Homo-oligomer: A and B are copies of this chain.
């Protein structure tokens, strides 16, 4: 109540124990929900602890528990809207479960520095989620011993789950892209589009490759000829330039399917402000992700949504399940996609 004692020294379990006239072990038990301690005693200790501004030291705790309550997140670019939205939702969800987000950045060329992984391991994260496309679970598993990495997989065919090889252990999140892409192609075709272009993401990106090949498959099934593939890297500027190339050098298109929303923005701006073409009248555009900016009036983008909340819940489930049963075999979760119809296809 009165805060007259302002100890320079950080309060420890010993100090709290002394103040509450109990043993240090009792303090430990008071903070551990499953420990056996008399309720009134626990309450008294917690009250004294609060007065002394005490919370258990995570470092010391993790040393003996072998649980750091840290989740490592590896990202090439925090600014990318899709990734920042995922980091945001993930951090919120993890915080609710008592975990903290430990953020690491890879180099801009997407190359994964082995030094980074080694350094990262020092913090002993309980789990690892890598958004970098070219860091494969085997690499992660080799460097990180305690944590089981989560692999984000985009099945190409109809089969949802890739089975584990003999190799190192990892858990898996399957993102099923067929539904959304099928719907998008049907819609564009329905409005008369015939000459499709695929605006790819980064060349090494598994997400981009999977989306491209799924697009091709779906189009073939509907009797459409293969799309023109133009290079990209998920950024606005590259998409802008590639779209100009598409129309000035490679014969153009009447429908553009972009590997992500930001790329779609670049394409739309190139079409409207530089090529003086109308969207959706002259060229239809579909994006991927459904980031928050997709509904901004300047774009009002029709796009394939990966439900963020659903995806994050699946990730958190994976993390918690893995922590419960440390030994278990490979775990997996699945999320779906769905087209959100707005103004860039009509």
Task: Pick from B10, B100, B123, B145: contact of A10, CB below 8 A.
Answer: B145
B84 touches A122 (CB 8 A): no
- Chain B residues with CB under 8 A of A329: none
Chain A interface, >50% SS class: helix
Decide yes or no whether A316 CB sits under 8 A from chain B. no
Task: Pick from B63, B78, B92: contact of A87, CB below 8 A.
Answer: B78
A102-B100, A105-B88, A269-B296 known; A59+B56 contact, CB < 8 A: no
A53-B143, A105-B92, A124-B59 known; A79+B68 contact, CB < 8 A: no
Decide yes or no whether A288 CB sits under 8 A from chain B. no
- Chain B residues with CB under 8 A of A298: 265, 268-269, 272-273, 298-299
Decide yes or no whether A118 CB sits under 8 A from chain B. yes
A63 to B68, CA, bound (A): 13
1/0 contact string of A294-321 vs chain B (CB within 8 Å): 0011110000000000000000000000
Interface size on A, residues (CB 8 A): 59
Decide yes or no whether A55 CB sits under 8 A from chain B. yes
Decide yes or no whether A40 CB sits under 8 A from chain B. no
A268 to B88, CA, bound (A): 27
B58 touches A124 (CB 8 A): yes
A59 to B85, CA, bound (A): 30
A79 touches B292 (CB 8 A): yes
Say how far A168's CB is from chain B's closest CB, in angstroms: 10
A101 touches B102 (CB 8 A): yes
Say how far A200's CB is from chain B's closest CB, in angstroms: 20
Copy number of this protein in the oligomer? Answer: 2
- The chain B residue with its CB closest to the CB of A108 is B92
A270 to B297, CA, bound (A): 8
Say how far A149's CB is from chain B's closest CB, in angstroms: 16
Decide yes or no whether A119 CB sits under 8 A from chain B. yes
- Chain B residues with CB under 8 A of A118: 55
- The chain B residue with its CB closest to the CB of A168 is B6
Say how far A296's CB is from chain B's closest CB, in angstroms: 6
- Chain B residues with CB under 8 A of A269: 296-298
A102 to B266, CA, bound (A): 33
A113 to B149, CA, bound (A): 31
- Chain B residues with CB under 8 A of A236: 292-293, 296
A346 to B91, CA, bound (A): 42
- Chain B residues with CB under 8 A of A142: 53
1/0 contact string of A90-115 vs chain B (CB within 8 Å): 01100100101111110000000000
Say how far A189's CB is from chain B's closest CB, in angstroms: 27
A102, A116, A297 pick with most chain B CB within 10 angstroms: A297
Instruction: List the 10 shortest-distance A-B pairs measured between CB atoms, nearest first.
Output: A78-B88, A269-B297, A84-B84, A101-B103, A298-B298, A59-B59, A273-B297, A58-B122, A59-B62, A55-B122
- Measuring CB to CB, which residues of chain A are less than 8 angstroms from any residue of chain B? 8, 10, 53, 55-60, 62-63, 68, 70, 77-79, 81, 84-85, 87-88, 91-92, 95, 98, 100-105, 116, 118-124, 142-143, 145-146, 236, 240, 265-266, 268-270, 272-274, 292-293, 296-299
Provide 16 A-B residue pairs closer than 8 Å at the C-beta atoms, listed in order of the A residue.
A55-B121, A55-B122, A79-B84, A84-B84, A91-B103, A91-B105, A100-B123, A101-B102, A102-B102, A102-B103, A236-B293, A240-B297, A265-B296, A272-B297, A272-B298, A274-B297
